[in-house]
A = this chain, B = another copy of it.
Amino acid sequence: MFVPRKILEEKLRQILMEDIGQGDVTAQAIIPPNLEIKGVVIAKEEGTAAGIEETTILAEYLGLKVKTQVFDGEKIRNKQVLMEISGDAQTMLTAERTMLNLLSRMSGIATITRTLTDKLRTVGAKTKIAATRKSAPGLLYFDKKAITVGNGDPHRLHLDDMILIKDNHIAILGSPEEAVKKAKSNASFTKKIEVEVTKSSDALKVAQAGADVIMLDNFSIEQVKNTVALLEKAGLLGKIILEVSGGITAKNIMDYSMAKVDIISMGALTQSVKALDISLEIAEK
């Protein structure tokens, strides 16, 4: 998801504009123009930094100077300074909340993603934590970027980059393997085909029909193990990517990772974000 800085500037400008409306009446009324100040962005709790790049681009776009003290993806401590921003006081105060909203949300997403990933790595599991499209409306880019920064997999970026056959598609088409066959015949050769299944037997069928990825929807650990056994018996294990989704929590995640699944995707990562507490403090004027 590399995006040139200029394209990001435009996305960020639109977010800032919503917050500004006809203008910041407080900055106008009480802050002198052309006053140079310096502010520091400080973490108020520990976590994983994300949004540093985006915040820097927004600040620099507005003419502020930025010294970043941490990189996206770095672990941060409570009270750690993430970046120093200097420049025009009215501009900095007008953009403060937009910058912090970006940093807090993205760092919140990266933090939980990284925490879960690290937990899996401690036992040597290679299972990846993946996002879904359950983001805040309109924030797919920033949410997926934060997932990546937290060592997660962004999964589909939107509706054009992968065939993903879900419950509602299957409700219309009748059976998952029918859906896979139709996709194989109609889709571009450039796309992988993933299909969501609700029973082990369907997993086998769609694997045989040529799916590239199988999403085991709300499977218990037992069901996952049965599915793996079925695929192994059919000689398909390792030739298809296994993703589990639904009902997975910080508690049972280790069990799932032990069960030979490749991907654990969790909607909550981007849908129920706990923002990281980050603030801007004026350091000098």
Contact = CB atoms under 8 A, between A and B. Distances in A.
Interface of A: 1-7, 10, 13-31, 35, 37, 39, 61-63, 89-91, 93-98, 100-102, 104-105, 108, 128, 130, 133-142, 144, 153-165, 167-169, 171-173, 179, 182-183, 186-192, 194, 213, 241, 262-263, 268, 271-275, 280-282, 285
Contacts of A186: 28-30
The 3 closest A-B CB pairs, nearest first, are A1-B23, A161-B161, A21-B160
13 contacts: A1-B28, A5-B62, A6-B62, A20-B160, A25-B161, A25-B187, A101-B135, A138-B138, A153-B188, A160-B160, A168-B281, A272-B274, A272-B275
B137 A30 contact: no
A23 B157 contact: yes
B137 A142 contact: yes
Most buried by B among A91, A98, A268, A271: A271
> Most chain-B Cβ atoms within 10 A of its Cβ — which of A5, A31, A138, A273?
A138
Given A22-B158, A25-B159, 13 more contacts: A19-B133, A19-B140, A22-B140, A23-B159, A31-B172, A35-B172, A39-B168, A89-B172, A160-B160, A168-B280, A168-B282, A190-B194, A190-B213
Contacts of A189: 128, 130, 153, 213, 241, 262-263
Nearest to A139: B136
